Amino acid sequence: MPNARLIYRWLRRPLRGVVQLTRYREYVLFVTVTTLFGAKFGGGEFDLRLLIVWAANMLVVAFAFMYNDVEDAPDDALDVRKAQRNPISAGMLSATTGRLICTVTALVTLGLYALLGGMTFLLGVLSLALAFLYSWRRARLKAVPLADLAVHSLSLAGLQFLCAYFAFDQGKPHSWLFFLFAVLISVYGELNNELRDLAVDRRAGIRHTAHWLGARGTKLLMMVVLSAALVMLGLFLWLEMIPLWLVIVPITVAPMLFAEQMWRLLRCRCLLIEQREVMHEPALVTGLLTVLAWFVGEQLIF
């Protein structure tokens, strides 16, 4: 028993570091929503194939976040908050261990995508490659204006949608184009992250899109991108690529999910753009409930 306790104490810190390295809280909900929409537009159902593509999409995004922390550890050490969040900077894991975990994750991810057909496998490989190039020091596309937006939106959203879509590939003609909605939402998310980390990134020498646009220009572009995403959503409803009855779901649940955030907004009397981050989780939950209702509703109807 004493030996077991010693082993537990020795392993507790690195195990916590591994869990912390995954940063799963930052993407599980978003990847789930993106995958479910992709599968639904592709004519998919709740089955083993959907479970496999969901797991593969989750792992490829986990790889992106983990590898980013491995490569960014020296920069994150410059900021107290980031240094504690990043387990490499915090000394919970070594950079070598972090790279080993990333390698294993990448291999498992490729194995899962290989089970889903040629097109899904190729898209999965592309997603993994972009996630690597986004953070890899010799390329570091995250520090290249415009490329940072394109790579982030594809590797962490658009390609997950397409992987789920082509895992089934039985949707209506051109319905795969809804991946552009996922891309636009991800561009908004990347701009939000760059704006939040602007001061730290500048100290680290990272010159991304938000650096060149400045805070005001970044906020303006965020609103333009979000508006374009809403226009695309409206277009798909108008073309009946999304059933009109589905609108009932967000209309019903959104007032309840956003009630607390809107009350805070009214009390602080500030602009929505300044309190945007408190709106993200309710929006994702609304999307999740909507796509689940789509799956269940069509099962009941047909």
User: What span, in angstroms and rounded, lies between the C-alpha atoms of 131 and 63?
Assistant: 8
27-53 burial: b if 16+ Cβ within 10 Å, else e: bebbbbbbbbbbbbbbebeeeebbebb
Nearest to 157 by CA among 250, 269, 60: 60
Q: What is the spatial distance between Cα 181 and Cα 22, in angstroms, rounded to a whole number?
A: 26
DSSP-derived secondary structure for 50-89: HHHHHHHHHHHHHHHHHHHHHHHHHHHTTSHHHHHHSTTT
Both tokens of 52, joined, read: 């496999």
- Smallest Cα–Cα separation from 221: which of 160, 148, 167? 148
Name the architecture of domain 22-242: Orthogonal Bundle (1.10)
In 3D space, the residue among 274, 258, 255, 170 whose CA is nearest the CA of residue 215 turns out to be: 274
For the chain, the domains span 22-242, 245-302
Phi, psi of 174 (to 5 degrees): 70, 5
60 to each of 128, 189, 210, how far by Cα in Å? Answer: 6, 18, 25
Confirm if 124 and 60 have CB atoms less than 8 A apart.
Answer: yes
Residue 138 to residue 141: CA distance in whole angstroms: 9
Share of the chain above pLDDT 70, in %: 92
d(CA 91, CA 83): 9
Q: Which residue has the tokens 């990448």?
A: 106
Mean pLDDT, contiguous 10-residue spans, the chain (302 residues) = 58 83 94 97 94 98 96 86 88 93 98 97 98 94 94 95 95 92 95 88 86 93 95 94 94 87 68 69 94 87 59
Contacts (Cβ under 8 Å, ≥6 apart) of 294: 40, 242, 243, 246
How is 221-249 classified by DSSP, letter by letter?
Answer: HHHHHHHHHHHHHHHHHHTTSS-GGGGHH
